[in-house]
Structure 1
Amino acid sequence: MKKLILIFALLSPVVSFGQLADSTQRLVHVRGAVNFRDVGGYKTTDGRQVKWNRVFRSASIQGLTPSDLDTLRARHIYTVIDFRGKQESAQAPDKLLPDTDYLLSPAGSDDGMMSKEQMSKAFKGEGFLEEFYGKGGIKYFGERYRPLFQKLLVMNDTTSMLYHCTGGRDRTGMATALFLYTLGVPRQTINADFTASNIYLRPMMGRMMKPMAEQSGMTVAQLNKKMELRPELLDIFFNAIKNQYGSVEAFMQKELGIGAAETRMLREKYTI
């Protein structure tokens, strides 16, 4: 299962059910990264709103330009959580502002590149993406996302956080789903944010799909279908957590150190 992560990081379909109406405000326009967006602005079930300009998600940021770093500086992004593997991140180090609090959180991430044969086999198999979000990935969720939530608890109110992987869609998408769930954002909204990566990654995929199809022996249409982000993947993700821990809240308490008191603290810090 671990060897599939680099595929997930690099692939995205060209169709999405979740393109957001507020994308002009949400999307952070930088030259050296894609799928870079604000997680704020969403309404919660109790009538509050997630704060803008506090938490951001993105694909890989190794290509950020000097002007992009000025954008990070203007948004006070001095905390970065990287969900990529050790080798994955070493091959493409993040571009960061001086004095950034950077943390690599690589649990479950593949440290090796797949061969053409391995990639072809994975593409042609059934359910590999579902496995990644469910029973094959559950053993990594706690270790991977604990650092994120512990940083969210202690981050001061004058700085912002960015978390990312390579494509900013799978590992990053699950992190965002947990964060928004904890703040009380409804699942319909969480699903929309998740599937919006299908649109935000379209420019990158336009360049990548044809060679990936040739390498795997599949058509571009087949790859798009295989890799489409769907709300059902988050259903698998949350159901895997519930099946193992009894509830999402029990998982948060046991694996992430987020109990009732910490949940109240996060809602106070990141919603208004």
Structure 2
Amino acid sequence: MRRTRNPDRNRAMTRVATVVLSTALVLTGCSHPSHTAHPSHTARPGSTQAAGAAAPTAPDARHIALKGAVNVRDLGGYRTSDGKQLRYGAVFRGDALGKLTPADLAVTAKLGLKSVVDFRLPVEVRTDGADRLPKGAAAITLPIDDTGLYEQTTAAIGSKDPAEQQKALGDGKGAETMRRIYRTFVAEAGARQQFAKVLRTIADGRGLPLLYHCTSGKDRTGWMSYVLLRAVGVPASTAEADYLLSNDIRRTADLRTRDGLKKAGIMRDPRLIVPLQEVRKDYLGAALTEADHRYGGFDAYLSKGLGLDAGTLHKLRTRLLK
């Protein structure tokens, strides 16, 4: 006799499974920051963080402590190779904003945001909710394809089948999937177009202050931030450190997700999703290698891949540096 399915239980299982992808970048507090007092949103070791957020360890981090988002940061303060500094309060990076609390909205209102760019796919927005934005912030939707990772991984996790989960994510498959996605950031015309639009919007200046984000604020957002920092002359090592900082900021929240999946009986081995939750040097390296292969280097990627001419790059640097 066929067992009748429980719709409520199935929906709950699906929701828990998709939460994992909210913490794994799929195609990614207590002190309230002030737009005029920029050091107040620098999280330093020992400072109090929002629930689920580990204290950033990099001294250049400008973490915005929120309860409904873990990985929101000001890109200000980074130094270029010639000694200039990125302005505070101009460009922010983040994770999904659909769970912001009223107190969070009060914090983000102080940032004075004019534009919020959302890299998420429609399925991600349907699952996690549209952004909650402070007044005056215009939503800009620029979805970047994840090559099917979201739905494929959700299906594997939601199956509750250890063999199916191992087949989809084990034996290095999770990490290889992430490297493949990073290569598409550079190879796919649609992705290049979206990243270029953000850079042109920043260079134009009328949409600043601007925040861009994906689901977890680490992959699409991480690559966007790396490209922006390098484009204005920040050393590669510094841009890489900003990219890797997501691991420190997200560590506690990601661990809780894995614990929740195991306790709920959905995953026997939740460590399988660690490659999806983390950012890694070799993921970034996959994108950079693709840029070398297709264009001959990072600078050529900016000009040929993203179509940014010298004038646009000059305006970008003028706009952001002091």
- TM-score category of the 2 structures, normalised to the smaller one: 0.7 to 0.9
- Following the alignment from structure 1 to structure 2, what is the Cα–Cα distance between the partners of residues 216 and 124? 13
TM-score by length of 2: 0.72
* Equivalent residue letter for 1:105: L
1:115 aligned to which of 146, 155, 160: 155
In the alignment, what sits opposite 1:106? 143
Do the aligned partners of residues 250 and 225 (structure 1) sit closer, same or farther apart at CA in structure 2, a change above 3 Å counting?
closer
Residue number in structure 1 paired with 2:218? 169
Any conservation in 1 of the 2:20–2:257 contact (CA below 8 Å)? no
How many residues are treated as equivalent by the alignment?
A: 261
Q: Counterparts of 1:58 and 1:77 in 2: how far apart (Å)? A: 13
Q: Paired residue for 1:180?
A: 229
The one-letter code of the counterpart of 1:131 is: R
What secondary structure is seen at the aligned counterpart in 2 of 1:103? Answer: strand
Equivalent AA in structure 1 for residue 287 of structure 2: F
Residue correspondence of structure 1 range 118-129 to structure 2 within 5 A: 120-126=166-172, 127-129=176-178
Three-state SS of the structure 1 residue aligned to 2:92 is strand
* Corresponding position: 1:203 with 2:240: no
Higher relative contact order structure (alpha carbons within 8 Å, sequence separation ≥ 6): 1
Q: Does the C-alpha gap of structure 1 residues 265 and 132 become closer, same or farther in structure 2, counting only changes over 3 Å?
A: same
Are the structure 2 counterparts of residues 183 and 9 from structure 1 closer, same or farther at C-alpha, using a change threshold of 3 Å?
farther
Task: State the distance in 2 between where 1:209 and 1:137 align.
Answer: 30
Q: Distance in 1 between matches of 2:95 and 2:195?
A: 17
Give the one of 106, 129, 143 matched to 2:193: 143
1:8, CA displacement in angstroms?
6.1
Alpha-carbon distance between aligned partners in 2 of 1:227 and 1:31, rounded to the nearest angstrom: 19
- 2:109 touches 2:135 (CA, 8 Å); kept in 1? no
Q: How far is the alpha carbon of 1:40 from its aligned partner?
A: 1.1
Conserved 8 A contact 2:113-2:136: no
Instruction: Tell me which of 7, 10, 15 is aligned to 2:23.
Output: 10
Deviations 1:109-128 (A, max 9, x none): 35746312575433215322
Which residues of structure 2 form unaligned runs of 5+?
A: 1-17, 26-51
Aligned partner of residue 48 in structure 1, secondary structure:
coil
CA RMSD of aligned residues (A): 2.8
TM-score by length of 1: 0.84
In 2: Cα distance, 1:78 partner to 1:226 partner: 31
Q: Which amino acid aligns with 1:218?
A: D
**What is the rounded CA distance, in whole Å, between the counterparts of 2:185 and 2:305 in structure 1?**
17
- Between stretches 68-77 and 44-53, larger displacement belongs to 68-77
Match of 1:44 in 2: 80
| % identical aligned pairs | 26
CA distance in 2, matches of 1:271, 1:101: 24
- Going from structure 1 to structure 2, the CA distance change for 1:226 and 1:94 (only over 3 Å counts) comes to closer
1:65-104 to structure 2, matched below 5 A, reads 65-91=101-127, 92-104=129-141
State the alpha-carbon separation in 2 of the partners of residues 119 and 96 from structure 1: 36
* Contact 2:261-2:270 at 8 Å conserved across structures: no
Larger deviation, residues 182-191 vs 145-154: 145-154
Quick one: distance in 1 between partners of 2:71 and 2:280?
17
Aligned residue among 262, 268, 271 for 2:318: 268
Worse-superposed segment, 113-122 or 78-87: 113-122
Cα distance 1:87–1:238, how it changes in 2: closer, same or farther (>3 A)? same
Which segments of 5 or more consecutive residues in structure 1 lack a partner in the other structure? none
Question: Cα deviation per residue 1:139-182 (whole Å; 9 max; x = unaligned)?
Answer: 1430331221121122238x411111111011110000000010
**CA shift digits 1:50-74 (9 cap, x unpaired):** 1111111111111112222222221
Shift of 1:233: 2.0
| Distance in 2, Cα, partners of 1:226 & 1:141 | 19
2:289 pairs with 1:239: yes
Aligned counterparts of 1:170 and 1:106: Cα–Cα separation in 2: 13
Q: Deviation per CA, 1:213-257: give whole Å up to 9, x if none.
A: 66454253x543664322232222111122112232333223433
Determine the C-alpha separation between the residues in 2 that align with 1:93 and 1:120: 32
| Stretch deviating more after TM superposition (144-153 or 208-217) | 208-217
